[in-house]
Amino acid sequence: MTDAQALVKTLDFQLNIQSDNESLLYDATLEARRVYNETIRLAKEGVDWNAIPDRVADDAHLVKNTTQRIVAKALGAMENYYEYDDFGLPSHTKDGAYPLRANYKEGYNLSLTDDGDVAFRISAKPYNHVKGVLEGSDVHLDILKSALESDGWKIGTAEALFHNDNAELHVNVTNTEQTVRGKLDSRTVVGVDVNEDNVALTALSEDGVEDTLVIGFPEIKFERHRYFTMRKRVQNAGKDSTHDTLEGHKERFVRDRLHKVSRHIVEWSQQFEKPCIVFEDLKEMRDSIDYGTRMNRRLHHLPFRALQFCTSYKASFEGIPTGWINPEYTSQRCPICGHTERANRNKKRFKCKDCSHQGHSDRGASVNIAVKSIKKHQKWNVPALNSLPQVQKVRRRASGAVDAPTVTHPTARGYQADGRMGVSD
């Protein structure tokens, strides 16, 4: 039996709205908030939930489909409220604008223009439409265009909303011809340890460690610090417009590097039998960081989640599942004997105080991540680890790195000749 799932993706776009219809869309989001809150009020008063949709729709100044979607989401929130929460908690009513939820070709529509753009039409209110073209990343636009032109895609619900005063549309699409293999069907687990200046990978199967790789990206930390210094200088000079330009340059630089590294991770993983890529769940990490002003700034700006998201997104389009494990002790546990002690690790060197195993500390963490995932997700047993192979290190160099071709495998060796990538000791 398999737990494979259809490939579902949420695509985010900015709305380039024609004429003065932005105010119409904003008014509709305020009406959506009223519908949501009215649904919550009626549910709390004990009104039959089956009667609420028609009762709310009678007074709503929205198209019926949109009203039904908002009511359904409000009732879903109430169901979770009664199932999991303390009844003494505050109401789930909303403040500010609330997203318009709509079905494709009922509450909103999309089409390709002669210029190659994607035009939208959102039914903000009955017989009142907001029109324009979508703007966003090339990746998301390409996926949406494929969905509009191919029978293998299904366009689903969307939400029109305001984020930081900017109008956006979030569209759900499903690839009906491609599935993401379930984690339980995996034969190889690739543990991924994301760090400040590198990412360490270890592929672990029933036979033991298949391969291990450390991909360095010190230029991200260097460029972040450089842009931070430049921003401080322009702020002191009172040049706010220059500050915004620098911020844009930094974000584009980091995003470019993250996409290249994430693509490398996925391609390296594809050489193994039925891989599953596993990360540490670091969502709560920033809440516990407090190492002083300078170190806090460095750690709070590390692209942990961004790199994990880019990798997970690319892996899904190759049919590779991703998983998440608790990060507790992954950096302090010996991958050979399991002994856990903070003193085991000293920067990039790991030496176990119990069995005297020595190795690359980040690689050791990636082994522990893979081991934890096997125990959590797989039906097969963790193999015995008596030794680990030599670490391969790959580092992108400043010269030619941006235009480096796609890395091919089974190994990263031999990629030194063109001067773009290299294996270090």
Q: Does 95 lie in the same domain as 29?
A: yes
CA distances from 418 to 21, 31, 393, 395 (A): 53, 59, 17, 14
Model pLDDT, residue 267 = 94
Residue 101 lies in a domain: yes
Residue 413 CA: distances (Å) to CA of 201, 258, 360, 405: 15, 21, 19, 15
> Which pLDDT score is estimated for 273?
95
Q: Residue 268, class by beta-carbon neighbours within 10 Å (0-12 exposed, 13-18 middle, 19+ buried)? A: buried
Length of the chain: 425
Domain assignment present for residue 1? The answer is no
Angle value at C-alpha 198, between 197 and 199, nearest 5 degrees:
150
pLDDT at residue 214, rounded to an integer: 93
The type of residue at 317 is F
* Predicted pLDDT of residue 389: 85
At 223, list the tokens: 């460029």
Residue at 2 is within a domain: no
Query: Cβ distance 188 to 276 under 8 Å?
Result: yes
Structural domain for 250, as ranges = 183-424
pLDDT given at position 55: 92
Look at residue 208 in the predicted model and tell me its pLDDT. 93
Q: So what's the pLDDT on residue 146?
A: 82
Same domain (yes/no): 129, 225:
no
Domain boundary pick from 130, 163, 179: 179
- Does one domain contain both 337 and 392? yes
d(CA 86, CA 94): 19
- Collapsed DSSP state (helix, strand, coil) of residue 119: strand
State residue 10's pLDDT score: 86
Q: Are 315 and 330 in contact (CB under 8 A)?
A: no
Of 152, 179, 206, which closes a domain? Answer: 179
Burial category of 363 from C-beta neighbours within 10 Å (exposed 0-12, middle 13-18, buried 19 and up) = buried
Residue 124 counted as domain residue: yes
* Residues 175 and 288 grouped into a single domain: no
Same-domain status, 227 and 333: yes
Please state, in angstroms and rounded to a whole number, the distance separating the CA atoms of residues 197 and 106: 48
CA angle 133, 138, 143 (to 5 degrees): 85
Distance (Å) of CA 153 to CA 8, 203, 314, 319, 349? 10, 32, 17, 15, 48
Distance CA(129)–CA(127), nearest Å, equals 6
In angstroms, the Cα distances linking 266 to 143, 214, 386, 408 are 19, 14, 27, 11
Does 22 share its domain with 145?
yes
Q: Which residues of the chain have pLDDT under 50?
A: 1-2, 83-90, 243, 286, 291, 295-297, 299-300, 397-425
Residue 237: what pLDDT? 65
> Is 14 part of any domain?
yes
Q: How many domains does one find in the chain?
A: 2
